[in-house]
Structure 1
Amino acid sequence: MKKTGLLFLSLLFYTLTGFGISLTIAANVGVSSFNALNLSLAGLFAVKVGTMTTIVNLCFLMLYIYLTKAKKPLAYLIQAIAVLSLGFVINFFTYQVFDAIQITHYASKLGLFMLGSIVAGLGTGMVLNLKTLAFPIESVCVEISNNHPIPFVKLRYGIDIFSVTISIIISVASSLPFVVREGTIISLVLLTFTISLTKKVFEAFIVKNNGL
């Protein structure tokens, strides 16, 4: 498949990730670690969560630009477009589509959260599999890991721990609702499982069809 086709697919799965994130927010049983940070910051500064997600991702993108000494302008531009699209999708579904939906049954909330986690995991997994577009956080972690004796996994989990910690601090200090809840724990398992499963299925597809 041509690079333009891969880029289009990557952007499509990027936005699918945003849709999945919106589902987990609508479930109201907590969100994943990184989204907990974005949701708490959004509440603290009274902005939409998709907008805050874009801002935080752009901060990581700026860090990535600094780490790579601004040598990949096209990659930066594509990532910027992707994170702007992600924020737009999250805002659209969170505030325009799901805002009027009220779910009171706890089992239904859990079901919706699990569906959202699976969708987000599928989107994220496919973006990683296509290797055409990257998430700024992963790009930063890869760059640091390549230049320092720190494993990528430790860096990524470090960001998750930092995100959860800051989210809790904001909730306590500002009397905002806690978004680090049972959903946060579920997402640790379900997101990882979905991304891993997506990778296995994708690799099997590539082998069967002799590449893209």
Structure 2
Amino acid sequence: MDLKHKKAKPQFLKVIQLTLGLFILALGVSLSVKANLGVTPISCVPYIYSLFLPFSLGELTIFMNAVFILLQIAILRKKYRYIQLIQLVAVILLGFFIDFTLYLISGINPTTYLGQLLVLLVSCAFIALGIFLFVKANITYIPGDGLLVVISKTFKKNFGKVKICFDCSMVTIGVVSSFLFLHKLAGVREGTILAALIVGLLIQLYEKISHLPARKLIGTENHQLPQRKGNAFK
């Protein structure tokens, strides 16, 4: 019995870490909404559609990511491993957390540009930390990232370039949708660009900080985020 508990505990802790990462990520997304300087590229489309559809940001985030899962299945077809539907569980949690954290911080309404900028920077820090914890849990992908991995591997394209094209596409769809349905620009501002620039840098910073004790002990300099064993998209 003890042996079974010892084996189960690390996986249980990974699930806790993944859940915590999703909650922190959702809090970061909600703070970016409250900053009112533009949301992150991946949140542009659901946020803009939440402004004129009778659905919440969390619900539309779930819907959009469900589409990403369908696109993965369409691209991979018979090669798709249905264990990857666990991505849907992760994004349902994320959507719920987004709506919940929006409720929790409903009292935060910065009235000055400096205050908005401060809230935006805090949101970027939370988004980066949430993504970092989620990736380190090493269980699954967020569907948007899963789609990028599928595209990158299937069509043999550089992941970084695919990511840039994907983010630009999300912003473009958001801008077009904003003018088409709201007749004005909403959800895309300087904060969108700032988030796109610094979230990745903050993730790298968290990675370096997490390895500081190991560096002191073994003197290593290069550390990478863990790679998932037995990649489900091969």
Place the TM-score, normalised by the shorter chain, in its bin.
0.7 to 0.9
Counterpart position of 2:83: 74
Counterpart position of 1:21: 29
Counterpart position of 2:222: none
- Structure-2 separation of matches of 1:87 and 1:160: 19
Q: Is the 8 A contact 1:28 1:109 kept in 2?
A: yes
What TM-score comes out, normalization by structure 2 length? Answer: 0.80
Q: Is the 8 A contact 2:28 2:126 kept in 1?
A: yes
Q: Could you say if the C-alpha distance between residues 72 and 108 of structure 1 is closer, same or farther in structure 2, counting changes exceeding 3 Å? A: same
- Structure-1 separation of matches of 2:166 and 2:15: 27
5 Å-filtered alignment, 1:88-107, equals: 88-94=96-102, 96-107=103-114
Once the two structures are TM-superposed, the CA of residue 36 in structure 1 deviates from its matched residue by: 1.3
Once the two structures are TM-superposed, the CA of residue 117 in structure 1 deviates from its matched residue by: 0.9
5 Å-filtered alignment, 1:129-168, equals: 129-168=136-175
- Structure-2 separation of matches of 1:131 and 1:206: 20
2:186 partner letter? F
Q: Which runs of 5+ in 1 are unaligned?
A: none
Counterpart position of 2:5: none
Q: Is the 8 A contact 1:129 1:199 kept in 2?
A: no
Once the two structures are TM-superposed, the CA of residue 176 in structure 1 deviates from its matched residue by: 4.7
Q: Percent identity?
A: 24
Matched residue of 1:2: which SS? helix
Residues 19-70 of structure 1 deviation map (CA, whole Å, 9 limit, x = unaligned): 1110111111111111112211222423211111111111112222344437
Once the two structures are TM-superposed, the CA of residue 115 in structure 1 deviates from its matched residue by: 0.1
- Structure-1 separation of matches of 2:213 and 2:145: 24
Q: Could you say if the C-alpha distance between residues 3 and 163 of structure 1 is closer, same or farther in structure 2, counting changes exceeding 3 Å? A: same
- Structure-2 separation of matches of 1:81 and 1:102: 31
Once the two structures are TM-superposed, the CA of residue 129 in structure 1 deviates from its matched residue by: 2.7
Q: Is the 8 A contact 1:44 1:170 kept in 2?
A: no
Q: Which runs of 5+ in 2 are unaligned?
A: 1-8, 219-225, 227-234
Q: Is the 8 A contact 1:79 1:135 kept in 2?
A: yes
1:127 to 121, 134, 140: 134
The alignment status of 1:48 with 2:56, answered yes or no, reads yes
Matched residue of 2:140: which SS? coil
Residues 104-142 of structure 1 deviation map (CA, whole Å, 9 limit, x = unaligned): 111111101110111011110221233222111111111
Counterpart position of 1:110: 117
1:60 partner letter? F
- Give the length in aligned residue pairs: 209
Q: Could you say if the C-alpha distance between residues 9 and 206 of structure 1 is closer, same or farther in structure 2, counting changes exceeding 3 Å? A: farther
Matched residue of 2:51: which SS? helix
1:117 partner letter? C
1:42 partner letter? S
